[in-house]
Amino acid sequence: MTTVSPVLPRWPWAPVSPVAPVSPVAPVYPVEPVEPVEPVAPVYPVDPVEPAEPVEPVAPVAPVGPAGPGTVTTAGGAAGVTTVVGLSHAVRARAVNAAEKMME
């Protein structure tokens, strides 16, 4: 006995629902020409800045004689010049900071 398969429609998908009507598009008008732009004024170099007043030269510092380890000495009597000899970096930094605070 032969079975016959049912005949399917050629296009099996469901019917498409109706599409809402599209509102008409406004007509496109030509754009009016734009007036030309005035050219920008050229940029001129800025006047040079007047040089600052000359700085007075610092008096030369006299050489410091030999000092023992850990000695903080003022170099040759010059104001504000301090040398730290024979200290580790951290101790030297603390000594220099303390000397700078004393001079303020």
Residue 8 has pLDDT above 70, yes or no: no
How many C-alpha atoms does 73 have within 13 Å on its Cβ side? 15
Q: What is the pLDDT of residues 46-102, one digit of tens each?
A: 777 787 788 787 777 666 555 555 555 554 544 444 555 555 667 778 888 888 888
Which helix (H) or strand (E) segment holds residue 99: the answer is helix 89-103
Domain-by-domain residue ranges, the chain?
71-103
Q: CA angle at residue 104 from 71 to 61, to 5 degrees? A: 55
The CA distance from 99 to 93, in Å, is 10
